[in-house]
Amino acid sequence: MLLFLIMMLSIMIFPELRTALGAAMHAVLFPIIGFDYRYPLLTIMLAGLFMTLVNVVVRHFLTDWLEMAEMQHKFRHLGTLLREARLSGDEKKMEKVIKMQRELAPEQMEHQNRMMRPMVATFLIVIAVFTWLWMFISNAPDPTARLPWGAVVDMRDMFLIFPMWVVIYSMVSIPVMILVQSGLKWMYFRKLLEEDEA
């Protein structure tokens, strides 16, 4: 895990590594979704969908959603008890709840470490695709695109602090991520309930 994190930091720090990773991803993605630079908007949208689906599916199957729900429930319950104890001024109850929180801290840390593993596993793909998109837009002869509401934008223009292609990527990937993740979690918990009822 530590070795993987060092590798990720090296990729982010050293431009040569990023360029090599982007070039490798170019060999894979350009023939599939590059469209010979003709449709940069479509390329960005498809790359966003690809990255989102990979991230969400990998994270879904490497996460114990039941354990996560139980952990969140425990800490919410302890938070409620602590607030009630503070409002009532019950020092003994407060000490008891704080002690319970301390006892759960190692379990929470282990849970957070397990939650990070899927993110680390997909981080390399995220960096590779983002580097490729940056190279793609930089090399596109015509990086302009017509948005669905009619505006023509240059993908290299800045919107606040982000290039326009990052904004468009986010507009596509965030809603898809929420929908796919919610759907997978719904199917997971529905299956658990059906198994419990059987």
pLDDT at 75: 86
- Give the residue among 10, 51, 55, 57 at the shortest CA–CA distance from 133: 51
Prediction pTM value: 0.73
Q: What does pLDDT average to over the chain?
A: 85
The CA distance from 164 to 155, in Å, is 5
Q: Does residue 63 register a pLDDT over 90?
A: no
What DSSP element (H or E) covers 145?
Answer: strand 144-146
Question: If you average pLDDT over residues 13-37, what whole number do you get?
Answer: 88
- Give the residue among 103, 95, 107 at the shortest CA–CA distance from 71: 107
pLDDT at 192: 84
Question: If you average pLDDT over residues 92-108, what whole number do you get?
Answer: 87
- Give the residue among 91, 94, 121 at the shortest CA–CA distance from 5: 121
Q: What share of the chain is helix, strand, coil (3-state, %, to 5)?
A: 85, 5, 10
- Give the residue among 176, 180, 170 at the shortest CA–CA distance from 130: 170
